[in-house]
Amino acid sequence: MKYEAPVFSIMHPVTVILLFLLTDYCSLRPCFASDCLHLLFQGFVLCKRMSEEHEEQEQVLFLDEGKKKKLKKEAEKAHKRGVCYISRVPPGMDHVKLRQLISQYGEIQRIYLVPQSTSRKRGGGTKAQAYSEGWVEFASKSNAKRVANLLNGEQIGGKKRSQFYYDHWNIKYLSKFKWDNLTEEIAYKKAIREQKLAIEISAAKRERDFYLKKVDQSRALSSIEERMKKKQKVQQESGGELSVAPQKPPVCRQFPQKKPIAERERSKPQLSKDVLAGVFGGS
Name the range with the highest mean pLDDT among 37-51, 56-70, 143-157: 143-157
Write the DSSP symbol of residue 281.
Answer: S
* 77-102 confidence digits (pLDDT tens): 777 888 999 999 888 888 899 998 88
pLDDT at 196 over 90: yes
The secondary structure of 168-229 as a DSSP string is B--EEEETT--HHHHHHHHHHHHHHHHHHHHHHHHHHHHHHHHHHHHHHHHHHHHHHHHHHH
Alpha carbons 35 and 29: distance in angstroms, whole number: 11
This prediction's pTM: 0.48
pLDDT at 4 over 80: no
Q: What is the pLDDT of residue 2?
A: 45
Measured CA distances, 242 to 6, 19, 95, 239 (Å):
111, 111, 85, 8
pLDDT at 6 over 50: no
Q: What is the pLDDT of residue 237?
A: 80
Q: Which amino acid is at 67?
A: K
Average pLDDT over residues 38-46: 67
* 212-232 confidence digits (pLDDT tens): 999 999 999 989 888 888 888
* 114-152 confidence digits (pLDDT tens): 888 776 666 565 677 888 899 999 988 888 999 999 989
Average pLDDT over residues 41-47: 69
pLDDT at 242 over 90: no
Q: What is the pLDDT of residue 263?
A: 59
Name the range with the highest mean pLDDT among 30-39, 126-135, 241-250, 265-274: 126-135
Contact 99, 108 (CB under 8 A): yes
pLDDT at 3 over 50: no
Alpha carbons 91 and 107: distance in angstroms, whole number: 24
Q: Left if phi > 0, otherwise alpha if psi is -120 to 50, otherwise beta: which for 182?
A: alpha
Is residue 260 very low, low, confident or very high in pLDDT (cuts 50, 70, 90)? confident
Q: What is the pLDDT of residue 8?
A: 44
Query: Which letter, b or e, does each residue of 167-195 get, where b requires 16 or more Cβ atoms within 10 Å of its Cβ?
Result: bebebebeeebebeebeeeeeeeeeeeee
Q: What is the pLDDT of residue 9?
A: 43
* 166 burial level (CB within 10 Å; 0-12, 13-18, 19+): exposed
Alpha carbons 28 and 8: distance in angstroms, whole number: 24
Contact 83, 179 (CB under 8 A): yes
